[in-house]
Amino acid sequence: MVPNKEKTVLVVDDTKENLTVIGELLEPTYRVRLALSGERALKVAQLDPRPDLILLDVMMPEMDGYAVLERLRAIPATRDIPVIFVTAMNAMEDEERGLRLGAVDYVTKPIRPAILLARVNTHIELKQARDWLADQNGYLESVVKRRTWENELIKDISLNALATLAAKRDNETGNHLQRTRSYVEALMLRLCDHPRFQAHLGPRQRAMIAKATPLHDIGKVGIPDHILLKPGRLTPTEFETMKCHAQIGSDALTDAMQRVLGRDAELLKAEREDSPLAFLEVARQIAIGHHERWDGTGYPAGLAGDAIPVCARLMALADVYDAMISRRHYKGPIPVAEVVATIAAGSGSHFDPDIVDAFLGLQEQFAEISSRYDDAK
């Protein structure tokens, strides 16, 4: 047998003669450590270098081999070390008990050197293979995590760049996107335990909604400049054109999903949380629904009440709040107190009443967000 001094075998027996015999048998091939009791074995097994295999006697005073094995399996540092019972007991029930507790093999005394060496070598090699697989799995898992993180980062940067370009066309700043996202995040955290919203605002759902908010006005890229950038009030015809941005944004996101998936009907059910396009479906719902009103008088579909997706209802309030307190090329900022009063008056008509209640309880946070992402900074 080829010597493998990098591998350590711990031999546990309450009889010195037995330790000597087994130790001398293994010493030419392995690094051997000895323990005369169960308590000592538990201490030695946790020292570096950790044993690659333990040969454990069953019949020992104070703590027998079964008790030692149970303790080894309960300690994180030793739970995966393979254990071979070495004992004079040869009843089938004794062997079954040892295997049931987690022993990998059972060798009876008196020791037959060739048999013991073969068993030890086999289980050392099996452990070595398991450790190699664990290392490979750990490495692959780290690679997958890194690639996933990189892909998410690239996706976030790309989508935020796209959203920022759309905002720039409207003479808005990237801070508008930061503010509205932060307003929505604050509202979601406030509402996530509310009975009406629990099913819609779990941790994963909140993360998707937050990432999707910057795309709410992506459809404005399809609005002509003479309307989008007009410094004064829009004519009724111009306003009807402006309202099309909600549908344009939704159609663009839908078309993107269909192109990616080749119009696969099953995968296009992106509202499923396990769908790879769940995030884009949330973005689409926000794009098309953030101008809907609670009473059904909004656009483009005239949805009312709970028919409006939760993410769009949240975005509706955040967008109106930010639009009113901010300076635009066609208006100056409105005082915060007046904005709060307007939104409160819109409870049950423009906005979901429970979302308004949450907003009213978040005035300090909204003010802090507005200050943190002030356009002048």
26-56 per-position pLDDT tens digit: 999 899 999 999 999 999 999 988 999 999 9
CB 25 within 8 A of CB 113: yes
Among 209, 228, 222, smallest CA distance to 251 is for 222
Reply yes or no on whether the pLDDT at 270 is more than 50.
Answer: no
Question: What are the pLDDT digits (tens) for 293-348?
Answer: 999 999 999 999 999 999 999 999 999 999 999 887 667 889 999 999 999 999 99
CB atoms within 10 A of CB 371: 10
Give me the architecture of the 8-138 domain, per CATH: 3-Layer(aba) Sandwich (3.40)
**Where exactly does CATH 1.10.3210.10 map onto the chain?**
170-372
At residue 261, the 3 state secondary structure works out as helix
Biggest alpha carbon–alpha carbon distance for the chain: 103
Reply yes or no on whether the pLDDT at 260 is more than 70.
Answer: no
**Where exactly does CATH 3.40.50.2300 map onto the chain?**
8-138
The class (CATH top level) of 170-372 is mainly alpha
Rg (CA), the chain: 34
Question: What are the pLDDT digits (tens) for 83-104?
Answer: 999 887 665 666 777 778 888 8
Reply yes or no on whether the pLDDT at 221 is more than 70.
Answer: yes
Helix 353-360 and helix 310-325: axis angle, to 10°?
Answer: 50
Calculate the CA 98 to chain-centre distance.
40
- Pairwise CA distance, residues 178 & 100, whole Å: 58
Type of residue numbered 61? P
Least confident of 65-69, 85-89, 186-190, 258-262: 258-262
- Pairwise CA distance, residues 318 & 207, whole Å: 16
Helix 310-325 and helix 278-289: axis angle, to 10°?
Answer: 50
Residue 13 backbone dihedrals phi, psi, to 5 degrees: -160, 145
Q: How confident is the model at residue 377 (pLDDT cuts 50, 70, 90)?
A: low
